[in-house]
Structure 1
C-alpha cells in the first residue's frame, strides 16, 4: 500500500510502500478515491519541515524547552534519541478523504463492504491508497455521490462548526474574514442558511472567486477604502450580527477589525489560527462582544471515548457532533444546496502528490482546493514489506509488536549486536512507524499481520503497545511458543492474568516485564551492600498530573496510573527486600475525577519487610521525580532520582553520583537477551511478575474499601 509521508527533519516528501493498515475494533478500511490537501494546515506543516533546524526551533519554542528539560533530566543520549525519533519519523499527511469501504471491523453495524464514505481525522484520513478509520470519523454517502466533492469532508465539518458557533438566524448577517478554503466553505453554508454574507480577504483573487461563484453578497479586500462604512451600510446600519475569522496570521488585525464591524452584543468566532489579544477599547468592551472558539469538527473532537471507542453523544443533548456535522455537510452537497465544484482548482494523480505540495508551498500559481486522485483499479496487498537483507536466524530471533517513542528510545537501541541475535519483523498500528523502525533498526520486514511476527522465524516477541493490548498479545505470543518481553503492565484484567499463567506453564517460555529500575547501576550497588535482615522502605514519587482525558487514565485502555506506573515501584521494593508482597493497603486523596493518582500504599512482604509507596500527582514539577530510602539493621540508603546514591552506616556516608540519570533500561534489555542466550531464562522470575500484577489489582480494591488491608 502506498502512502505520502514526510520527514520532519529533512523535509523529504515521498510516496512509499508501507504495510496495509490494521483493522481495529469499531473501525473500517477504506480504499481512497480522492483526498484533499489543506493548504493552511498541511501547507504550514510542510513549510516547517523544509526549514533549517534553527527555523524549526523558532517555530516551536515550547518543544525546544522540552528538549532542554529532557537534556537536564536524562542526559544527552536519551535527548538525542528523542529528538532524532521525531526528526527521522515518517510523518503521514492528510486528514480529509473519500472512498469505498473494503473491510469492516468487529462491532461495526452501520457500514458494509462496498459503501461509499467520506472520512476525517489526522492520522486516519491520510493521503494514502488505503486508510483505517474509526466509525465516528466516517460518514456514509449515497451510492451516486461525487467523491471528489465528498472528500472535502473534514474541511466542510470544520466550517460547519464555525457557522454553528455563530448561531445565526434567517435574515441575519455575517462577515467572513479570510476566503481560503474554510472561509469559502463557511460562506457557502451561511448562504444556504439564508444569512447575508460579506467576505473579506487580503487577496483580490480570493474575493473575486467568491463573488464570481456567488458565495458572498458583498466581497471586499481588506485594504478597501471605507471598508467599515461599506459593511455598516450593507447591514442596514446595524453592523454584522457575527464575524467568522477563517484567516491564518500572526497579526492582531483580524480580531480588532472584527470588533470594529460587529454590532453591539454580536459574536466573533475564531475558526482559523489567529491571536486573540484584542484591544479592549473602543469596540470589544463597549459593545460587550462575545468571543467564541470553533473546536475543529465539533463536539467529540479530541474525546477518546467518542473518536476511538465510537461512543456517541445522545442527540437530545448534543444535537451536532463532529459526525453529524459531517453528515449535514454531505447532505448540503448531495441535495445541491451548495455547489463546491469550483473550489477544486487543481487535481493531481496521487503519484504526483509531491508536485501538488510544491504548488502549495511555493505558490507558483493561484489555487484554492487541491484534490489527489487515486488509482482505484489497483488491488491492495497485505504482504509484509522487506526492509533489509534476510539475516541468518540465530538463537534469539526478535520481532516487535508496537514500537512507539519508548520502544524507539529505550528498547530497540539497546538490543545487543550479537551473532546469535537476529531482528525479524516489526508490527505497529501505523504502517509509517513500522516501516521507519524496521529500516532504522535493521529488521528484515515490517507488516500489519500478527501471523507474520508470530510465525516460526520469530522465537522472541517484544510487546510495546497500549496497555489494554498487552494481555492479549502476551497470551498469543505464549500460545505461539515465543519468549515474551512486555512493557508494563502485564495485563489489565484478572482473568487475563489467569490465562497468561496457564499459557506460561503450558509453553514453558520466559515472560519478562519492563521493570527497568531494578537494573539501574545505583540499584545494583545498593543491592550488593544490603543484608538479608527485614527492612523498611520508602519510595516517594512526584509523578505530576496527567489530564483525565489522556489514554493512560482511561481504565479500559490505559488501566490508570496504578497499573501503568505504580507497578514499577512495587517491583522495585520487591527486588530490594528479596521477597514477595503478601498484604497491601492503600488510600487515595479525594479528587473530582476519581483518578486515584495521589495515593499512599503500605506493603508487607514474606520476610517481614515493609514498604511505603507515596505516589503523588499533586506536587511541584521543580522537585525531583523519584526518591527512595531503605533502612535495615543500622544501615540506611538514599537514591535520589537515579542520579545519586548515598549509603549510611558506620563512619562517613558513601556517595555515588552519576553524570546523567540512569533508570536501567539498557541494562534491562541486555539482561533479558543475555539470559535467553545463556539458559532461556528471564532475569525477573515469573512469580515476581505475577505477584506485582496481583498487587496492583489489590491496591485498587483496597482503595475502594477505604484502605482495608488486602491479602495478595
Structure 2
C-alpha cells in the first residue's frame, strides 16, 4: 500500500510503498477513502524536516541539552550516531481519516465489516486503529466531511474546558482550520464569538459564518476592540488556536479577559506570562490536550478500556461522535473550509506548497481498486537455504540504532524484517538492503531462506514468538528478557528441543571488558557488585507495565544477573531483593538484589533510577583473592593486585558488536551456543525470583520456581 511519510533527515515528504497493517486484537482495519491534511500541524512537521541541523537545534533547545548530557556519559561518536539514526526514522503524517472497515480484531464491540468510520488514522491506503479511536459516520455525512471529525474534536475539547454559557462572549485567536471550526461550534452553543486573525481571507470566511472577526494588521487593536464590544467588561473566555512563537498573544488574551475569565490554549505560542495580568483578574489558564479524555492513556486507547459515561461524559471517542452529529444536523459547515481536493498520487500539489498560508483544508482522495499486501519486496537480493539468512521481528530503536548498524557492517544476510505498522520496517529495509518488509511476521517463519529469527519486540511478545520460531525450525535470537512470567518461560521450555539454538541478548558478557575481567580473575569464588545508574523513565512508559514490559528488574537487571553468572562460572542459587520506599511495588526501579551462587560466589546488583545522569551509567566491581577489578561504564577497566593486568581502555563497548558478529558466524558455520541454555533459563528464573522476593520479603530459591 501507499503511505505519506516525512523524513526529518532529508526534509522530503514521500509517498512510500509499505506493507499493509495486519488487524490486531482490539483494533479495526480500515480501507481509506479520504483523509484531511491538517495544514497547521503538518506544515510545522514538514518545515522542521526541511530545516538544517542548526535550525532544528534552535527549535528544540531542550533536545540539545539532552544530547550534550549524552556526550558526557557515552562519548561524541555514539551520541552523534544516535542523533542521526533518530533523524533517519520516518514519520507517518496525518491523523484525520475516513473509510470502510474491512477487518475486525478480537474483542472489538459495536463495529462490523462494511461500516463507514472516521478515525485518527494516517495518510495511508489502509490503517489499523484501536476501537476507541473510531466512530461511525452517519448516513447523511460524506466521507469527505467525516475527515474533519478529529480536527473538530480538538476544538471541541478546548470548548469543553472553557465551559462557555449561553450568551457569553468568547474570543477565538487564530482562524485557521481548528479556529474556524471552534468558532462555529461556539456559535452553535449560543455564544457571541469574536475571531482574531492576521489573514484577511480567513477573517472574511469567519464573518460569513456569523463570527465577529477582525484583522489586527488592518489597524484594529484587538484588546480595545473586545472591551468595546463587551461594555468594557472583557471577554468571558479566550480560546487560543493560533501557532506563533510570540508571547504577545497570551498577554493580549489576559488583557482582553474579564475578571475571573478563562483562557484555553489549543495552539502553540510563547508562554512568558505576566503575573500582574493574571493576578489582578484572577484569570484561569489551561492547556487543552488533543481530542479529549483518554488521549495518551494506553489503557483507553490501546487496550480498549472505556471511561464510564456517568463519570467521564466526554471521552475522545464521544467527542468524535459529537462532531459527526453536529455535521449531520448541519450545525457545522466543513465543506466551505476545503481549499483543494487532490488524488493521493498527486500529494505533492499539497506538500510542495504547504507553506502557503492561504490554504485551510486539503482533502486527499484514495483509489477504490487498491488491495492490501502485507509484504513488499524492497531489494532484489535473495539467499539460498542454509546460508544463514536472517529474519527480524521488530523495528524499534534497538533494531535501528544498535543492531542493524552492526549487522550491516558485517554484510549479514538480512532477508526480511517485520514491523507492526510497516513504515519503520520498510525504511530500515531500504537503508540496510533487507530483501523484504512485512507486517505479518509469521510469513517469515515459512521461508526456507531464513535460518535465524531475531526478535526485538516489546517484552510481553518475546516468549510466545520464541516458541513459534523454534517450532518452525529456526535458530532464535531474542533481545532480553526471554520471558516476563513463568507461563512464558514454560512455553519456551516446551518448544526447545536442542535442535536449534536460542540466544538471549545478554550482550554485557561479550564486552572486551567482561572478557578481560574473567580471564584475569580466574575460577575462584568471588564477590561482584554491579551498579546500574539507569535513570528515570516516566511512569506511563510501557516498560513499567508488568503485563507488557515486566518491569525494569525483569526487563533490564537481568543483564547483570547474566554477567555475574558469566564472571563466576556458576548458576544462581537464591535471590533476595529489597527496594526503596516504605511499601515498595513489584515494578520498582530502585532496588538492591543479592545473589547466592552454587559455587559460593555472591553478587549484588544495585539498580537505581534516582541518580544523576552526569555520573557513569554502569560500574562493575569484582573482588577475589586479594585482587580487585573495576569496570567503569565499559570504557575503562582497572586491575588492582592482578598479575599481568593493569588497565583496559576503549570507547564504550557493551558487547553488542562481538555478540552479533559471533551469532552470525555460528549460524553460518555451526558451533556451540553463545550462551548455555541452562544459564539462560537460570537467569530468567532469577529475575522472576527477585519479584517474588520483594513480594514475600524473603530469600527465594531459584530452583523451586521451575514448574
Distance 1:295 1:317, change over 3 A: same
> Does the 8 Å CA contact 1:627/1:639 hold for their aligned counterparts?
yes
Matches within 5 A, 1:305-320: 305-320=299-314
Residue 72 (structure 1) shift: 3.6
**Cα deviation code 1:226-284 (max 9, x no counterpart):** 54333223224421110001110011111011111110011111110012212223x32
Matches within 5 A, 1:134-533: 134-214=130-210, 216-221=211-216, 224-281=219-276, 283-363=277-357, 366-415=358-407, 422-455=413-446, 456-505=448-497, 508-533=499-524
**Cα deviation code 1:561-604 (max 9, x no counterpart):** 01210111111111110011010111111278834111111110
Residue 662 (structure 1) aligns with: 653
Residue 76 (structure 1) shift: 4.5
Q: 1-side partners of 2:434 and 2:386: how far apart?
A: 13
Residue 25 (structure 1) aligns with: 25
Q: 1:624 aligns with which of 589, 601, 616?
A: 616
Distance 1:226 1:533, change over 3 A: closer
Give SS of 2:11's match. coil
Residue 557 (structure 1) shift: 1.3
Q: Which moved more, 1:456-465 or 1:443-452?
A: 443-452
**Cα deviation code 1:640-683 (max 9, x no counterpart):** 1111111111689812222x211111011112222233435321
Q: Which moved more, 1:367-376 or 1:589-598?
A: 589-598
Q: 2:600 aligns with which of 593, 608, 612?
A: 608
> Does the 8 Å CA contact 1:639/1:646 hold for their aligned counterparts?
yes
Residue 112 (structure 1) shift: 0.8
Q: 2-side partners of 1:681 and 1:66: how far apart?
A: 42
**Cα deviation code 1:162-191 (max 9, x no counterpart):** 001101111111000110011111111111
Q: 2-side partners of 1:102 and 1:437: how far apart?
A: 28
Could you list the runs of 5+ residues in structure 2 that have no partner in the other structure? none
Give SS of 2:20's match. coil
1:126 and 2:122 aligned: yes
Q: 2-side partners of 1:185 and 1:616: how far apart?
A: 48
1:546 and 2:540 aligned: no
Q: 1-side partners of 2:257 and 2:296: how far apart?
A: 31
Q: 1-side partners of 2:79 and 2:107: how far apart?
A: 41
Could you list the runs of 5+ residues in structure 1 that have no partner in the other structure? none
Q: 2-side partners of 1:314 and 1:236: how far apart?
A: 42
Q: 2-side partners of 1:418 and 1:579: how far apart?
A: 33
TM-align CA RMSD: 1.9
Residue 68 (structure 1) aligns with: 68
**Cα deviation code 1:108-155 (max 9, x no counterpart):** 1221111111111xxxx1111111111111112224421111111221
Residue 3 (structure 1) aligns with: 3
**Cα deviation code 1:14-65 (max 9, x no counterpart):** 2121011132221111111111111111101101111222222222223333
> Does the 8 Å CA contact 2:383/2:389 hold for their aligned counterparts?
no
Give SS of 2:39's match. coil
1:557 and 2:548 aligned: yes
TM norm structure 2: 0.96
Distance 1:243 1:362, change over 3 A: closer
Residue 416 (structure 1) shift: 7.1
Q: Which moved more, 1:456-465 or 1:390-399?
A: 390-399
Q: How many residues align?
A: 701
Residue 703 (structure 1) aligns with: 694
Residue 694 (structure 1) aligns with: 685
Give SS of 2:354's match. helix
Distance 1:436 1:614, change over 3 A: same
Distance 1:381 1:143, change over 3 A: farther
Give SS of 2:450's match. coil
Q: 2-side partners of 1:453 and 1:142: how far apart?
A: 41
Distance 1:637 1:194, change over 3 A: same
Q: 2-side partners of 1:109 and 1:511: how far apart?
A: 39
Residue 2 (structure 1) shift: 0.5
Residue 430 (structure 1) shift: 2.1
Give SS of 1:557's match. coil
